[in-house]
Amino acid sequence: MDTRTDRSKVTVAPNEFKLVKYDPDEIADVVADLADRIGLANPIRIVVDETTPMAGMASTIDGTSSDALITIHVESGALEDTKRFTNFNRHHAEVSLGRMLLRAHDRLRPDFADAPDDDSLSLRQEAAWNTSLNGRLERLGVDINRQRWLYNHRNRFGFTDDVDAGFERLWSSDDLPWSAIDPDA
Amino acid sequence: MRQFFPVEDLARDERFVQTNMAERMQDARQPRFKDAPASGTRSSAKSRAATARLTPDRPDASDAARSLMHGIMTGEIQALEGAGRTAHDFASGDGTNDTIPFELKLDMARQAWDEARHVEISVKLSAWMGTELGQFAENTVLFQAACSNDPILRLAGVNRALEGLAIDVFTQMKEFGDIAGDPYLEFCEDWMLADEVTHVKMGSDWLRKVTEKDPERRAKALEFQQVVDKLFSFGGARGESDESSIGLARRFRELAGFTDDEVDVIAKMDEDALAERKAAVQLAQEAAGAVAAF
């Protein structure tokens, strides 16, 4: 059986960018490739807000079945080449969208039923989850700057050895339930 | 050794990509915060801080701090290059006819030494924060201000405007490190801040001394400083408004020789630059008809 993600299940809006030099087809290719590596067969809709250079992202899922639509809202900065403003960067897009797709994949699991919506996550919850997601993304073959995410984790939880040990646990584990990730639990 | 080095000839390896203010201002996108007017789009609330000020409670705090730290690092490289050029480009003399006092050369040499140390500190801080050298575009506006043929304009543009901005930035980053509990960031920024206050004071003192009997030259230098200050406000990214990520460090500027009136003028310029930037972005977005499909 062909398990590759169907490229036609990925849609990107807008279909033409005016303020940034992004190609919807290239974004769709990145998403399809990542979904394939993650094992996500759901239809996926990517909505890019090109009016801001910020890098916020949020996703929603219409249910928990394998055909539930995953919608990811992403601000243009999350896909941008930080050396060449307004240009697309494939690696940056992989790191950003990979995190959101893995998060959506987590949300399809029953043991993530208690995870708050993206817009309701606390900064600490988001940081802890991101640590877990980035560790797994790295093991899926995406080039991740570990130190960047360690610094992000420390900023939210403190600059101590205990916090670093917590980071290591989240980074190196593959199947943690939400209850083991949630720092506010 | 060659004198008067243009910005295009700065030595950088392949990791660095340079940009300038003109390119930066062509970007018609607009940062948005919680209280910003609705754009007709739905974006993630996770990117929305209550204000633009760079504090650890911003959702994008660590990435914003990393980007700013990289900007500091490239700024330090250019400040080193600028101070070195000023020490070398002009002959010793009484300050007239394209000469500078020998003591001013010594101050520039001392500043170059300080900046070299700042580069080393900033490189290590960047690595600590998870940033690769050259990861972000290098804005060359700092060195451009150090390319004037008049050494007094360089003092006004670099020591007073650029190093003045450095005072604001270091104060912001020191506070960021303090609140986040990052011992290295807070400590290093504090030490570099002390040097920057000295550099600004050098600029203020030498500008007054060398132009003591030449009010026209002094006025021209202060006018150039205002132009550079406006450029360095990055369209209002530095200012006293909550929409500015970097505040104006009034107390440290006072220590560096700025009068209250001078700081008020900078604050007003920042405010105007922010308003101009917002108006330009709105026009550009309307012209492009860019409304995200949410």
Please report the pLDDT score of residue B227 as a whole number: 86
Average pLDDT over residues A139-150: 98
CATH of domain A7-108: 3.30.2010
Q: How many domains does chain B divide into?
A: 1
Give the residue among B286, B164, B149 at the shortest CA–CA distance from B225: B164
Instruction: Let me know how long chain B is.
Output: 294
> Is position B18 within any domain?
no
pLDDT tens column, B148-177: 999 999 999 999 888 888 999 999 999 999
Q: Which residues in chain B are contacts of A86 at CB distance < 8 A?
A: 27, 29
Q: What would the two tokens of residue A182 be?
A: 């949630």
CB A72 within 8 A of CB B126: no
What are the residue ranges spanned by the domains of chain A? 7-108, 118-181
> Is position B25 within any domain?
no
Q: Which residues in chain A are contacts of B63 at CB distance < 8 A?
A: 55, 148, 152
CA A179 from chain center: how many Å?
19
> What is the count of residue pairs from A and B with beta carbons less than 8 Å apart?
143
> Is position B294 within any domain?
no
Q: Which residues in chain A are contacts of B46 at CB distance < 8 A?
A: 56-58, 118-119, 121, 126
Q: Which residues in chain B are contacts of A146 at CB distance < 8 A?
A: 130
Of B46, B131, B294, the CB nearest to A57: B46
How far apart are alpha carbons A160 and A167 in whole angstroms? 11
The two counts, helices (H) then strands (E), for chain B are: 10, 4
Name the pTM for this structure. Answer: 0.89
Please report the pLDDT score of residue B119 as a whole number: 98
How far apart are alpha carbons A148 and B176 in whole angstroms? 17
CATH number at residue B90: 1.10.620.20
> Is position B178 within any domain?
yes
Give the residue among B208, B200, B180, B191 at the shortest CA–CA distance from B251: B200
Of A52, A84, A155, the CB nearest to B43: A52
pLDDT tens column, B118-148: 999 999 999 999 999 999 999 998 898 899 9
> Is position B11 within any domain?
no
> Is position B15 within any domain?
no
| Residue B98 structural domain | 53-288
> Is position B58 within any domain?
yes
Residue A137 distance to chain B (closest CA, Å): 17
Of B19, B32, B182, the CB nearest to A159: B182
How far apart are alpha carbons B162 and B187 in whole angstroms? 22
Contact yes or no for A50 and B47 at CB 8 A: no
Kind of pairing between the strands at B18-19 and A84-88: unpaired
The SS3 of residue B40 is coil
Q: How confident is the model at residue A2 (pLDDT cuts 50, 70, 90)?
A: very low
Residue A3 distance to chain B (closest CA, Å): 30
How far apart are alpha carbons B274 and A181 in whole angstroms? 41
Q: Which residues in chain A are contacts of B27 at CB distance < 8 A?
A: 19, 53, 85-86
